[in-house]
Amino acid sequence: MKLNVTSYGRLPTYAKCTRCKGKALVHLPSHHANFCNECFLVFFRNAVKRAMKLFPLRPRDPIMVAVSGGKDSLALWSVLTELGYYTKGLHIDLGIPGFSEASREASKQFARSRNLELSFYSLKDLFGFSLLDIRSRTHRMICSVCGMLKRQFLNRLAIQEGFSIVATGHNLDDEASRLMGNILRHRESYLAKAYPYLPAMPGVASRIKPLFRLESEEIRIYCQIQNISYVKDRCPFSKGATSHIFLESLEFLESKMPGTKRDFLFGYLETKRPPTSDETPGERCSICGAISYRNICGVCRIKEELTKRDGRIVKGKAT
């Protein structure tokens, strides 16, 4: 197999691959390792295999992969397929002008090139409002609303399509920066859920994050070697997201002390054990039946807020 030349970090021209002693093309300072492209792929797959061992799943369980069209979700879908899992992609068009069209196209193109099955849905059809509609009607933090909607609809659609496992492309950087934010703000209830696996319950698919051992840059290199075309632009609604600030702080520490992100996340996870279904709320939303800590779930509360607001606007116009 002919592979593209890739390099990352400051790699001397004579550097040897840590694994096969051939010419190294990839430098991973946080692992104190250099790899040729072939050995990098072995390293990458091993990191995913190691993550999958942590999740109490049966090896042949079919997995619904949440596909956004970005590098993480496409790399996830690619590597799970390489490892022999039966997968299907699920893409939700969020209705973000320009960005959503590009995301849908990248997802479609990847599925077509690998002959994989992909289902498409639109947030507007599912919820009655696109993300653009929501952003113009509420002052809530758009990323937290978006995250909540994606979580609930991914689960609902996966169950509807007969899947009991949903995999998302969250990587080590995402998980470490989220952990940092939750620790700094003493968010105990979020910390309790800070694990790359959540168990299944009646009507709820289990959630897994098979890329949690891999850094964003390692995923970018994987996509480059595997010729995966993905949407490179950032979501235009992400400006000002606090997660970026936490990630920048971690990147600063990482540049001074390679391996900090891994030590921070893995050290924390070692103190935890996989959550069980008894530890998640047993309450159901009285409107949609989703698992909820309150009588009405967050998604139904947003819907009520948006619908009431629209009602007020229509009434205002009519009088």
CB neighbourhood size of 65 (10 A): 28
- Could you say which of 143, 183, 191, 201 contacts ligand SF4 (CB under 6 A)? 143
Rule CB under 5 A: which of 268-287 touch Zn ion? 285, 287
Q: Which parts of 63-214 fold into alpha helices (H)? A: 71-82, 99-114, 123-127, 131-137, 142-160, 172-184, 188-192
CB neighbourhood size of 25 (10 A): 23
Contacted entry of Zn ion, ligand SF4, none for residue 39, CB cut-off 5 to 8 Å set by kind? Zn ion
- Could you say which of 15, 241, 288, 291 contacts Zn ion (CB under 5 A)? 288
The answer to the question of residue 198 lying near Zn ion (CB under 5 A) is no
Rule CB under 5 A: which of 4-43 touch Zn ion? 17, 19-20, 22, 36, 39
Q: Could you tell me how many helices (H) and strands (E) the chain has, helices first?
A: 12, 8
| CA torsion through residues 186, 192, 197, 201, sign | negative
Nearest Cα to 148, choosing from 303, 302, 306, 299?
A: 299
Nearest Cα to 71, choosing from 222, 179, 198?
A: 222
CB neighbourhood size of 307 (10 A): 13
Binding footprint of ligand SF4, residue count (CB under 6 A): 8
Q: 111 with 88: CB under 8 angstroms? A: no
Candidate ranges 16-24, 54-62, 82-90, 230-238; the one touching ligand SF4 (CB under 6 A)? 230-238
- Closer residue to ligand SF4, CB minimum distance, 237 or 246: 237
Q: How far is the CB of 142 from ligand SF4 (least distance, A)?
A: 5
- Closer residue to Zn ion, CB minimum distance, 253 or 296: 296
SS3 assignment, position 231: coil
- Could you say which of 147, 203, 240, 289 contacts ligand SF4 (CB under 6 A)? 147
Q: 48 with 77: CB under 8 angstroms? A: no
Task: Give the number of residues written for the chain.
Answer: 319
The answer to the question of residue 127 lying near ligand SF4 (CB under 6 A) is no
- Closer residue to ligand SF4, CB minimum distance, 34 or 178: 178
Contacted entry of ligand SF4, Zn ion, none for residue 285, CB cut-off 5 to 8 Å set by kind? Zn ion
Contacted entry of Zn ion, ligand SF4, none for residue 237, CB cut-off 5 to 8 Å set by kind? ligand SF4
Q: How far is the CB of 282 from ligand SF4 (least distance, A)?
A: 28
- Closer residue to ligand SF4, CB minimum distance, 142 or 176: 142
CB neighbourhood size of 15 (10 A): 17
The answer to the question of residue 230 lying near ligand SF4 (CB under 6 A) is no
Binding site for ligand SF4 (CB under 6 A): 94, 142-143, 146-147, 235, 237-238
